[in-house]
Structure 1
Amino acid sequence: MIVMKFGGTSVQDSAAVNRLVEIVRKKIHLHPVVVVSALSKVTDTLQKIANQSYTGDLNGALALTETLQERHILMASQLLSENQPYLEHTLSEIKEYFVKLREIAGVVNILEELSNKSMAKILSFGELLSSYIIYRTLNNAGVKCDIADARCFIITDDEFLKGEPDYNAIRELAPIALNLAFEQSDVVITQGFISGTKNGLNTILGRGGSDYTAALIGMAMNADEIEIWTDVDGVHTTDPRRVENTRSITTMSFSEAAELSFFGAKVLHPATIQPAIEKNIPVRVLNSTEPHKSGTLILKDEEVQSCGVRAISFKEDIVVINIFSMKMLNTFGFLTKLFEVFGKYGVSVDLISTSEVSVSLTVDTDLNLDRVTKEISRFAKVTVNYNKSQVSVVGKNLKETKGLAKRIFGAICEHNITMISQGASDINVSFVVNKEDLDSVITALHKEFFE
């Protein structure tokens, strides 16, 4: 069997869903599990509905809810217009979802309380609606399809807005739920992004979590391949929305893909690769608008021979924190003390560079940052620099590539470099530039290595 994940832009309207149906129809013999995201931008709208309900603007929240309902009803009507009884039943179910959403918004408004638990419940409606409409559309098109609720087998802890998957529970429950669904069907559809606790409470995997769902299902089901269908034809040498003349990479290693996704490439969720590595399942990134293209195939490291620079990724909005203390000089335990503070407040560090008396590091959020810097200031001098961007040059055996540093920094010599980090990885060189310079930096690097 295979897992096929379709992102928000691949299910954004009736035309996109019709393309999905034809793509899936051609792969029925492979017994696909189809994982779908919410329609494009729906999750953002649901978040606004939750926040407006909480801040007292219930009328605004209900107006947004009405707009969402109309969008889903329009799409279902376009997809099922030739089967009126089937359409009427589908529309009735869609309206029921929105009755529940309005009820929750009303409760949030009355209580003036928006917990993470309530937010996860509200955000789950996007995937529940899209999966139901696509399930009905597949069956109407003659594809025997069943639907499985991901909240029953993608099990996480009770971190409601960024659930940590319970691999053992998923390995146990996913085959039971999906094999049961396959008994009467050729295709099973389920939701990405949403998950549940062992006690049946709604959680979500965090933004971009549909990729993660697909990989977790692939791991649990021993899939032959995981397909990520998106709006670009594979992993590109850099973001084609920012730089001209990019090209799709035919094959790349798990390590390269993991580095690219972690350091800002938006084609894959950073957590996607780990479950695939565990079972050595190939991951293929494909374009749902041009399904004839081969995309990018991601394989285990030993099966990919090419070396040198493969791609350039970036994080546009990062924060650089500089920490200085003479107490670091010839003493033990300073870094332990430092990172205990970051761990205490749940702040993840990306890059780090150290000297005898200073540490520079980057984070990609300012959440709890004031609390972190306040505590560190008790034992060190702290400065924080905003409006920075992180650029990563990714490839295999970069440490063995002679002249690489000269080519990288020669190409961008007109721009200021705030921080450089390489030592921990053989497959990426990362550095920090001013945010205003990002586009010109990645364009110059792309010309140097790929044009």
Structure 2
Amino acid sequence: MPILKIGGSIQKDEKDYELIAERIEKYSSKTDKVIVVTSALKGVTNSLIEATENRDKAVDLITEIYDRHVKLLSKLVEGPEFENAFKSLSKLADELFRIAWSIKVLDETSTRVRDYILSFGERMASVTLASVLKSKRMNAQAYPEPVLVTDDSFGEANVIEDLSINEARKLLEIDSKIVVSPGFIGKTVMDRYTTVGRGGSDYTATLLGKLLGLSEVRLITEVPGIMTADPRKFPGAKTITRLSLEEAMELAQMGAKRLHPRTFEPMFNNDLKVYIEGLYDEGYTLVEGTCDSSDKLKGIAILEDLKLISVESTKIVGKIGSAARVMEKAREAGVNIVSLSQPASETTIHLLVDARSSNTLTSRLEELKDVNTVNVQDASAVSVVGCGLRKKELFKEILREASSFDITSVSRGLSNVSATFIVKRDEGFNLAKDLHEVVIRWTN
């Protein structure tokens, strides 16, 4: 019994839905039951976010979202199935319109209300996809409510697995061969909608695989698997046929294919295989197991739009708690630290953060009495991933390639299957390009 996750990037038009239906039918013909986890249609989540930020346009944006779903239905679904889906979508839209009017009048949106608004993208997609499948005589049913129980950390909610198991099992009790359920969203014990972060449908699918004790999850998207690099920026990038769990975790954390950072976390200590496959082209990446002795290099990833904040002072040398005070300022500012490093001399603490957070954190750090200067510069983080980095000869080759660049720091990742280089932003792409060429030579 597989779980199939249908990405939002492949839900653009009726042609996509024809291919999606064929893919689901292919897998459903081999088993008694299939759970389909769906993202919102392409662009819908961004439109809903815009509605929360530009409240004067909220009603118009929601009207466009509703019209888009109905138009799609009209091209793919007929008769009673269209009428039933139309009623369900209209009910959801009416609820969403009421919220839009309220936030326009109040001119205010809390994180809780924002998550509530975002939940409609996946809920409407569940209804739409299930109706398309039923119109093609598949035994399908929508279950448009979230099955994940979370805490109330709206925007980045944490799943409470013990409570989610019973909710997840409800999918198995539905008397339909194909059950379509929303990804990305959850509910608190008080029945308030939450979201688990962008890309959360991937995480939803793998977590359901774990909770239900299944062995196979397939993430269906626009590209045929995880590639050695972004093919739009790096000519010659190719699909990675197999990744160990450690390698996949490192690439996900660095934003490869925009995977949720926790996508592969449910695989730990579970006999779960995850396939990332393309809808339009043949090919896939299999994520399974741990490092193999034959593994070499797999891929590169680059994070841009970062700032490197360097806290410098001789007064912090040997002083217990200096780094802790710096980190406390980051916590107070609500800033996530992407990377942290400090030389053994203890004279400098380097903090890598998202560029949008740098001004807030910098002003906080300047409040520290024992700090001489706080310097800020544009930066990029470039990672190369592969179990082969555990081998000295391969790691040395990567270091040689990187040595011609002005490197601020080098760090090793999970189980030493990655190496990340912090460089000036204007050197980031060139370093990534050179390292990708090494990866291609050693990819197996």
Same structural fold, with TM-score higher than 0.5 when normalized by the shorter chain = yes
Task: Check the 8 A contact 1:277/1:300 in 2, yes or no.
Answer: no
Partner of 1:447: 437
Task: Check the 8 A contact 1:412/1:445 in 2, yes or no.
Answer: no
Amino acid at match of 1:46: L
97 and 440 in structure 1: CA distance in 2 versus 1, 3 angstrom threshold: same
Partner of 1:396: 387
Tell me if 1:431 matches 2:431: no
Task: Check the 8 A contact 2:250/2:414 in 1, yes or no.
Answer: no
Partner of 1:383: 374
Deviations 1:123-154 (A, max 9, x none): 11111111100011111111111222442x30
Deviations 1:96-124 (A, max 9, x none): 32222221111011112211111111111
Partner of 2:266: 275
384 and 63 in structure 1: CA distance in 2 versus 1, 3 angstrom threshold: farther
Partner of 2:10: 10
Determine which of 289, 293, 318 is the counterpart of 1:300. 289
Per the TM alignment, residue 41 of structure 1 is displaced from its structure 2 partner at its CA by 1.1
Amino acid at match of 2:54: Q
Q: In 2, Cα distance between the equivalents of 1:448 and 1:398?
A: 12
Partner of 2:173: 180
Partner of 2:96: 101
Amino acid at match of 2:155: L
Q: Once the two structures are aligned, what percentage of the paired residues are identical?
A: 28
The within-5 A match list for 1:402-413 is: 402=393, 404-410=395-401, 413=404
Q: In 1, Cα distance between the equivalents of 2:14 and 2:372?
A: 56
Q: In 1, Cα distance between the equivalents of 2:366 and 2:262?
A: 30
Per the TM alignment, residue 273 of structure 1 is displaced from its structure 2 partner at its CA by 0.9
Deviations 1:429-451 (A, max 9, x none): 11123334433332222223315
Determine which of 161, 164, 168 is the counterpart of 1:170. 164
Partner of 2:297: 309
Amino acid at match of 2:171: L
Q: Aligned pairs, how many?
A: 436
Task: Check the 8 A contact 1:345/1:368 in 2, yes or no.
Answer: no
Amino acid at match of 2:153: E
Q: In 1, Cα distance between the equivalents of 2:209 and 2:86?
A: 32
Tell me if 1:215 matches 2:206: yes
449 and 279 in structure 1: CA distance in 2 versus 1, 3 angstrom threshold: closer
Amino acid at match of 2:349: V
Per the TM alignment, residue 359 of structure 1 is displaced from its structure 2 partner at its CA by 1.4
Partner of 1:42: 44
Tell me if 1:325 matches 2:313: yes
Task: Check the 8 A contact 2:225/2:240 in 1, yes or no.
Answer: yes
Per the TM alignment, residue 23 of structure 1 is displaced from its structure 2 partner at its CA by 0.7
Q: In 1, Cα distance between the equivalents of 2:83 and 2:135?
A: 13
Q: In 1, Cα distance between the equivalents of 2:415 and 2:374?
A: 27
Determine which of 131, 136, 154 is the counterpart of 1:141. 136
Per the TM alignment, residue 375 of structure 1 is displaced from its structure 2 partner at its CA by 4.3
Partner of 1:122: 117
Tell me if 1:68 matches 2:65: yes
373 and 422 in structure 1: CA distance in 2 versus 1, 3 angstrom threshold: farther
Amino acid at match of 1:127: E
Task: Check the 8 A contact 2:221/2:276 in 1, yes or no.
Answer: yes
Amino acid at match of 2:86: L
Amino acid at match of 1:445: L
Task: Check the 8 A contact 1:5/1:227 in 2, yes or no.
Answer: yes
Deviations 1:29-56 (A, max 9, x none): 3322100000111111111112221xxx
Per the TM alignment, residue 384 of structure 1 is displaced from its structure 2 partner at its CA by 4.7
**Segment drifting more, 206-215 vs 65-74:** 65-74
Q: In 2, Cα distance between the equivalents of 1:76 and 1:368?
A: 45
Partner of 2:76: 79
Partner of 2:152: 158
Q: In 1, Cα distance between the equivalents of 2:425 and 2:247?
A: 24
Task: Check the 8 A contact 2:2/2:34 in 1, yes or no.
Answer: yes
The within-5 A match list for 1:169-248 is: 169-175=163-169, 177-181=170-174, 184-248=175-239
Per the TM alignment, residue 79 of structure 1 is displaced from its structure 2 partner at its CA by 1.1
Task: Check the 8 A contact 1:319/1:384 in 2, yes or no.
Answer: no
Deviations 1:217-254 (A, max 9, x none): 11110111111111111111111121111111111100
Task: Check the 8 A contact 2:307/2:352 in 1, yes or no.
Answer: yes
- Unmatched tracts of structure 1, length 5 or more: none
Determine which of 398, 419, 424 is the counterpart of 2:409. 419
Per the TM alignment, residue 337 of structure 1 is displaced from its structure 2 partner at its CA by 2.8
Per the TM alignment, residue 399 of structure 1 is displaced from its structure 2 partner at its CA by 4.2
Amino acid at match of 2:212: M
Task: Check the 8 A contact 2:184/2:197 in 1, yes or no.
Answer: yes
Q: In 1, Cα distance between the equivalents of 2:50 and 2:240?
A: 37
Task: Check the 8 A contact 1:321/1:362 in 2, yes or no.
Answer: yes
398 and 443 in structure 1: CA distance in 2 versus 1, 3 angstrom threshold: same
12 and 341 in structure 1: CA distance in 2 versus 1, 3 angstrom threshold: same
Amino acid at match of 1:229: I
Q: In 1, Cα distance between the equivalents of 2:63 and 2:142?
A: 26
Amino acid at match of 2:321: G
**Segment drifting more, 391-400 vs 199-208:** 391-400
410 and 197 in structure 1: CA distance in 2 versus 1, 3 angstrom threshold: same
Amino acid at match of 1:63: D
TM-score normalised to structure 1 length = 0.90
193 and 402 in structure 1: CA distance in 2 versus 1, 3 angstrom threshold: same
Specify the SS of the correspondent of 2:37.
strand
- Unmatched tracts of structure 2, length 5 or more: none
CA RMSD of aligned residues (A): 2.2
